[in-house]
Structure 1
Amino acid sequence: MSDSQFPKPAREVRQWAMFCHLAAFCGCLFPFGNLLGPLIIWQLKKDDDPFLDAQGKEALNFQITVSIAITISLMLMVVLIGFPMFALVGIGALVLTIIAAIKANEGLDYRYPFTWRLVK
């Protein structure tokens, strides 16, 4: 089935889905903000719409994956390979988060690549 067969979510739902993805930037303000931001928005709004629930889970799963990759990068800094890995993960997370936010605001069901989906 193509995406055009499903109705586009309401404007407010799309905005909250976008905020789920963008809430990851709370990690720039305080430790673990990249996890807490999407988690709080998803928990508050998940029952409002299935699209919002799906995008909240997707944002949270991606940020869990990013946190694991960053932790591994920090540990590998002892043998120097962690420095480029840290940069690569950071740039990738930034770009993919922005793409996901834009897609969610357009009403498209975005799935992050390379994501370990723990929250179902």
Structure 2
Amino acid sequence: MTHPIPNPSSGQSLTPTSEERTWAVLGHLAALVAAVISVGWLSFVGPLVIWAIYKDRSAFVRQAAAGSFNFNLAVWVAIIAGWVMFFTVILIPVAIIVWIVAVLAGIWYHVRAAMAANRGESFRYPWSIPVLH
């Protein structure tokens, strides 16, 4: 799941700077922080802001923030699907399981991605809806 960032001009991998690694870590963890602060409603805002600021400055940070944002969209879809199931009444147990899996997967993969970014490695989330690149 972790991949080095290729250098398009030489074909070799670039090592991200300390500042880039820090912002990439923040790009991954901003979703969790925003989710806690907003009770889950604004988990996409942190990665989106970091992506907007760094999209032309650093390919490493852009990829991290875009991956985090796109993964959050998939988590949101799962949570919304859980709400739809919840309102059917008969699927309430399934909705609860979907919510638990979505939240735990969100925490697990954002932490793993932040750890990879701290090592200077890119991280590819297992599920995402590719909106940002």
**What's the TM-score, normalizing by structure 1?**
0.90
RMSD: 1.7
Q: What runs of 5+ residues in structure 1 fail to find an aligned partner?
A: none
Q: Corresponding residue for 1:57?
A: 66
Q: Which is higher, the Rg of structure 1 or of structure 2?
A: 2
Per the alignment, in what secondary structure is the counterpart of residue 33 of structure 1? coil
Q: Provide, for residues 39-95 of structure 1, a one-character-per-residue CA deviation record: whole Å limited to 9, x for no partner.
A: 111111222211111111111101111111111112212322101111011111110
1:75 to 53, 78, 84: 84
Which structure is higher in RCO with an 8 Å CA cutoff and minimum separation 6? 2
TM-score, normalisation: structure 2: 0.82
Distance 1:49 1:97 in 2: 20
Question: Which is richer in helix?
Answer: 1
Correspondence 1:37 to 2:46: yes
**Larger strand proportion, structure 1 or 2?**
2
Residue of structure 2 aligned with 1:104, choices 117, 122, 126 = 117
Residue 95 of structure 2 corresponds to residue 86 of structure 1: no
Unaligned runs of 5+ in 2: 6-11
User: May I ask how many residue pairs the two structures share in their alignment?
Assistant: 119
- 1:111 shift after superposition: 0.3
Q: Select the residue among 3, 21, 24 that pairs with 2:31.
A: 24
| Percent of residue pairs bearing the same amino acid type | 27
